[in-house]
């Protein structure tokens, strides 16, 4: 046992979170020169990969579908922290940052992660198989929360512009949080079997087949290192965010593209984990990650932003533009047709990836 612990401590995924936090302490509140920005960005990427590893260790210990929740909630913590910190320092240009980031997260998860998972799963097995009951319920919840939070602000009349009144924002926040809590209850207790991975032969996989679950000591160590990695990711991302904003401005891209960059950054752990699961014929696990991240992104971010607006100045713009609503509606329609059969091939995966490409292109060139 002692030898195993020493081997584990020698792994790079243990050193990276500690180094990331140390770098955060050294660079916090300072203007970084270009070479330092490059080093911090590389360390940030390594911290993201380390977070993936430790989240997977914890997930393997607790099993599905609890494991998917670990990474989804962890990623959402990163997203909320980045949005709030950038809104505090961003001024007027950050009024729509929450909307842009949350919508980008929905499009990336419901089209990018979902499409990539189906493509990888179907490429190896010719068809990707998943539980349509659990996946359909998750997708319906994502659709409802997204519509309540990102579409309705355009049609309310109590306040001009794509924004809620404080009372309406409070209702949307409570409704989002309640639906997310209800989904977690269904996923982990009442209908846990709906979210278990199944093989192409229809066999339920209740655990990893060839790997011994990690010990409690290793699990707790990974949980602590996961928290350190997340702190490092949030802090280092905040440090390089001025460079990101400058790069977006220098490239002639709209300011809303900053939200896309943030979403791509914080969803990197989910993307890696989802592709790995799909390659192991666990497409259901991949879809749990994708839709769970989309749901957590809205269901937890909107309430957190609603609370932050108590002390933040300026309006909070939540309503999507016309192009964004068309893309969301198309995603909902295509996603429904993909999920209902419970089986998908490379065509469905390619269609979702095409929708993601359209979103990214129109975000850069509206």
Unique residue bearing structure tokens 């059969």: 341
Domain count, the chain: 1
Rounded to whole angstroms, how far apart are CA atoms 259 and 83?
9
| pLDDT confidence band for 175 (50 / 70 / 90) | very high
Task: Write the CATH number for 281.
Answer: 1.20.1420.30
Share of the chain above pLDDT 70, in %: 84
Rounded to whole angstroms, how far apart are CA atoms 194 and 211?
23
Which residues 6+ apart lie within 8 Å of 280 measured at CB?
none
* pTM across the whole model: 0.80
The kind and range of the H/E element at 285 are helix 283-308
Q: Note every long-range contact of 164-167, with CB atoms under 8 Å and residues 24 or more positions apart, other chains counting.
A: 164/316, 164/318, 166/309
Name the phi and psi angles at 23, rounded to 5. -65, -35
User: Tell me: the pLDDT tens digits for 218-269?
Assistant: 888 888 888 888 788 777 877 777 777 777 777 778 877 877 887 887 777 7
User: Tell me: the pLDDT tens digits for 95-127?
Assistant: 787 888 889 989 999 999 999 999 988 887 788
Rounded to whole angstroms, how far apart are CA atoms 271 and 226?
17
Name the phi and psi angles at 64, rounded to 5. -85, 150
User: Tell me: the pLDDT tens digits for 308-345?
Assistant: 777 777 778 888 889 999 999 999 999 999 998 888 88
- Average pLDDT value over all residues in the chain: 80
Q: Which domain holds residue 226?
A: 2-364
Tokens of 269: 């752990």
Longest dimension (CA), the chain: 66
Higher-confidence position of 315 and 200: 315
pLDDT at 331: 95
Rounded to whole angstroms, how far apart are CA atoms 132 and 353?
20
């Amino acid at each position: 046992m002692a030898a195993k612990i020493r081997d584990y401590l020698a792994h790079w995924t243990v050193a990276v979170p500690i180094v990331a936090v140390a770098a955060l302490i050294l660079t916090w509140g300072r203007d970084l020169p270009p070479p330092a920005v490059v080093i911090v960005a590389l360390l940030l990427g390594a911290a993201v990969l380390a977070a993936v590893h430790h989240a997977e260790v914890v997930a393997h210990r607790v099993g599905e579908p609890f494991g998917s929740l670990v990474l989804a909630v962890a990623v959402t913590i990163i997203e909320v922290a980045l949005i709030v910190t950038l809104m505090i320092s961003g001024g007027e240009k950050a009024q729509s940052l929450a909307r842009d980031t949350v919508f980008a997260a929905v499009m990336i998860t419901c089209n990018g992660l979902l499409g990539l998972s189906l493509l990888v799963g179907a490429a190896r097995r010719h068809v990707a198989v998943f539980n349509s009951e659990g996946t359909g319920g998750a997708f319906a919840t994502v659709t409802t929360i997204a519509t309540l939070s990102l579409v309705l602000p355009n049609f309310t009349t109590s306040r001009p512009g794509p924004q809620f009144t404080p009372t309406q924002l409070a209702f949307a926040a409570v409704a989002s949080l309640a639906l997310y809590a209800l989904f977690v209850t269904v996923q982990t207790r009442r209908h846990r079997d709906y979210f278990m991975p199944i093989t192409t032969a229809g066999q339920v996989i209740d655990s990893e087949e060839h790997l011994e679950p990690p010990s409690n000591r290793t699990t707790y160590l990974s949980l602590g290192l996961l928290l350190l990695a997340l702190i490092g990711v949030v802090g280092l991302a905040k440090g390089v965010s001025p460079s990101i904003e400058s790069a977006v401005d220098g490239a002639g891209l709209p300011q809303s593209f900053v939200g896309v960059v943030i979403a791509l950054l914080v969803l990197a752990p989910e993307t890696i984990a989802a592709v790995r699961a799909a390659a192991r014929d666990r497409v259901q696990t991949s879809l749990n990650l994708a839709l769970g991240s989309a749901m957590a992104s809205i269901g937890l971010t909107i309430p957190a932003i609603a609370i932050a607006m108590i002390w933040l100045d300026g309006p909070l713009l939540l309503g999507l533009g016309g192009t964004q609503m068309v893309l969301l509606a198309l995603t909902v329609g295509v996603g429904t047709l993909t999920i209902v059969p419970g089986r998908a091939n490379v065509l469905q995966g390619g269609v979702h990836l095409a929708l993601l490409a359209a979103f990214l292109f129109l975000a850069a060139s509206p």
